[in-house]
Amino acid sequence: MSRIQFITDADGVKQSAVIPIELFNRLVESADLDEFYESIPVEAGPHDNETIPNEVVEIKYDKDVSLQAAWRIYRGMTQDDVATALSISQAAVAKMEKSQKPQKATLEKLAALYDCRATQLLLD
């Protein structure tokens, strides 16, 4: 087995240990770690059972855009494409993508355009 390495503070007092993964796994398996877990109450949201493709989620976070914009990008569309399809201006699409609570009719139009469900365009 590899040696255990210690990380010390400026005074030489041991603060942490670096141990082999095999030893760590054995310790975790045999340990009673319930004291480290805290129960957190959660209220179910209306969209908890909704799924969103991983690619859309990655676009949302990688590009730091709204979920509506992530769907647009996922479908290979520009804001101009969406504007033309919905007969609105590109500026209106940009504003719509920044809206936290788009109107239901807008969500339904976008869902039809992006071939998804309106509930997939929102995060609770």
Nearest residue to 79 (alpha-carbon basis) of 96, 94, 63:
94
Tens-digit pLDDT profile for residues 47-89: 777 889 999 999 999 999 999 999 999 999 999 999 999 999 9
pLDDT at position 2 is 60
Q: Is residue 81 part of a domain?
A: yes
Q: Is residue 67 part of a domain?
A: yes
Q: Is 46 a residue whose pLDDT tops 90?
A: no
Structural domain boundaries, residue 108: 54-121
Report if pTM > 0.75: no
Q: How many domains does the chain have?
A: 1
Rounded CA separation 69/16 (Å)? 44
Rounded CA separation 22/2 (Å)? 10
Q: Is residue 86 part of a domain?
A: yes
Question: Residue 18 has which token pair?
Answer: 């670096």
